[in-house]
């Protein structure tokens, strides 16, 4: 048996007005949400920052480390946003910080859930675990779009010899996820080998493969990094200026290296990242990092800057 449905004419005037104003309120909220979302999408994207928390009950540090190891002591999602938003940065790709949080990616996952659309995520998993692909799929449902790898991971000194590493690269290709190597230039040759095996895999290399970390910019290293541009899915993060070259603003000593990458990759495969909180200290500031791409580097057009500061990272870390 079904109950009779109330007709529109049976609604009292009070009830009708109540529903109408409720509908209007919903429309207004939806409009506000849409506006806020478009503001978020118009802002800059920082392709690389870390966060951590002093809430060790909820997020214990790897290996039972004490809170005293954290430097700076606290760098939460809220602290990060308070620094970046006044400078026009509306979205940040959070990179799992393995020394503190190990392979427990919950701190980042929770930040993404608490700030929908604001944070992207790059996770750390164990390539040598039996089924790293299962963990990648699980983390993808939580918003992660990249997986950080380092030399020697996967149980062998060569990534190509590691079954887990091969599974990770293959899964990344099939799922539209990125492999994000944190490496020195000596390992670019291994990236090249994996890119030849997995040409469909999206790759994002951190911090110019740290070329310039010694203060020198060896030609062979620069040639190795620009050489990877022949693989159309390789990207380079234009990031971590505090660590490269003279290691202080205005960072214009990095211009020749950035120009080399620009010529090899084009702006569509370069993305700016701050590497906070490490970019924050002494002369090195968030604003100084952003300023190099916003106002420095006279070979960049306005459209190029938009790729480096927004569109490249959006395509890799905020889609799919």
Binding mask 159-178 for Zn ion (x = CB under 5 A): --------------------
Residue nearer to Zn ion on the CB measure, 46 or 275: 275
Q: Is 135 in the site for Zn ion (CB under 5 A)?
A: no
278 CB neighbour count, 10 Å cutoff: 17
Interacting positions 254-283 with Zn ion (CB under 5 A):
275
CA distance 161 to 290: 39
Binding mask 26-55 for Zn ion (x = CB under 5 A): ------------------------------
CB of 49 to Zn ion, least distance (A): 8
1, 7, 18, 88, 112 from 4: Cα distances, Å = 10, 9, 22, 55, 45
φ, ψ for residue 282 (rounded to 5)? 60, -130
Q: How many residues bind Zn ion, per CB under 5 A? A: 1
Place of tokens 């299962």: 134
CA distance 121 to 304: 24
In sequence order, the 6+-apart residues with CB closer than 8 A to the CB of 78 are: none
Residue nearer to Zn ion on the CB measure, 171 or 274: 274
126, 153, 156, 270 from 150: Cα distances, Å = 11, 6, 12, 20
Residue facing Zn ion at closest CB distance: 275
CB of 244 to Zn ion, least distance (A): 13
CB of 228 to Zn ion, least distance (A): 20
Residue nearer to Zn ion on the CB measure, 101 or 166: 101
CB 291 within 8 A of CB 250: yes
Residue nearer to Zn ion on the CB measure, 221 or 275: 275
Residue nearer to Zn ion on the CB measure, 95 or 234: 95
φ, ψ for residue 6 (rounded to 5)? -70, 135
CB of 274 to Zn ion, least distance (A): 9
CB of 245 to Zn ion, least distance (A): 17
Interacting positions 290-319 with Zn ion (CB under 5 A):
none
Residue nearer to Zn ion on the CB measure, 135 or 275: 275
Binding mask 206-245 for Zn ion (x = CB under 5 A): ----------------------------------------
180-218 exposure pattern, b = at least 16 Cβ within 10 A, e = fewer: bbbbebebbebbbebbeebeebbbbbbbbbbbbbeeebe
CB of 87 to Zn ion, least distance (A): 19
The Cα angle at residue 68 between residues 63 and 73, in degrees rounded to 5: 115
Place of tokens 């009950």: 57
Residue nearer to Zn ion on the CB measure, 198 or 317: 317
CB of 47 to Zn ion, least distance (A): 11
Residue nearer to Zn ion on the CB measure, 245 or 273: 273
CB of 89 to Zn ion, least distance (A): 16
147 CB neighbour count, 10 Å cutoff: 27
CB of 199 to Zn ion, least distance (A): 27
Residue nearer to Zn ion on the CB measure, 153 or 275: 275
Handedness of CA 290, 296, 302, 305 (dihedral sign): negative
Binding site for Zn ion (CB under 5 A): 275
């Amino acid at each position: 048996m079904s109950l009779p449905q109330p007709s529109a004419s049976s609604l009292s005037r009070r009830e009708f007005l109540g529903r109408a104003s409720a509908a209007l309120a919903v429309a207004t909220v939806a409009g506000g949400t849409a506006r806020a979302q478009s503001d978020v999408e118009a802002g800059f994207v920082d392709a690389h920052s870390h966060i951590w928390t002093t809430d060790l009950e909820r997020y214990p540090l790897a290996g039972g480390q004490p809170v005293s190891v954290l430097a700076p002591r606290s760098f939460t999602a809220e602290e990060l946003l308070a620094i970046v938003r006044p400078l026009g940065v509306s979205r940040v790709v959070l990179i799992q910080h393995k020394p503190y949080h190990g392979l427990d990616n919950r701190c980042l996952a929770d930040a993404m859930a608490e700030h929908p659309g604001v944070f992207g995520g790059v996770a750390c998993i164990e390539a040598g675990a039996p089924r790293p692909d299962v963990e990648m799929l699980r983390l993808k449902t939580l918003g992660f779009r990249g997986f950080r790898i380092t030399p020697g991971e996967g149980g062998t000194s060569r990534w190509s010899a590691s079954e887990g590493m091969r599974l990770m690269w293959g899964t990344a290709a099939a799922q539209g996820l990125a492999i994000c190597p944190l490496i020195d230039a000596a390992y670019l040759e291994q990236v090249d080998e994996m890119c030849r095996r997995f040409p469909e895999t999206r790759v994002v290399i951190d911090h110019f493969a740290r070329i310039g970390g010694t203060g020198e910019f060896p030609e062979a290293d620069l040639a190795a990094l620009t050489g990877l541009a022949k693989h159309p899915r390789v990207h380079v993060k234009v990031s971590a200026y505090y660590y490269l070259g003279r290691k202080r603003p205005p960072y214009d000593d990095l211009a020749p290296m950035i120009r080399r990458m620009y010529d090899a990759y084009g702006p569509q495969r370069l993305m700016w990242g701050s590497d906070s909180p490490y970019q924050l200290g002494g002369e090195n500031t968030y604003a100084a990092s952003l300023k190099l791409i916003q106002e420095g580097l006279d070979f960049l057009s306005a459209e190029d800057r938009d790729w480096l500061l927004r569109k490249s990272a959006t395509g890799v870390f905020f889609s799919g």
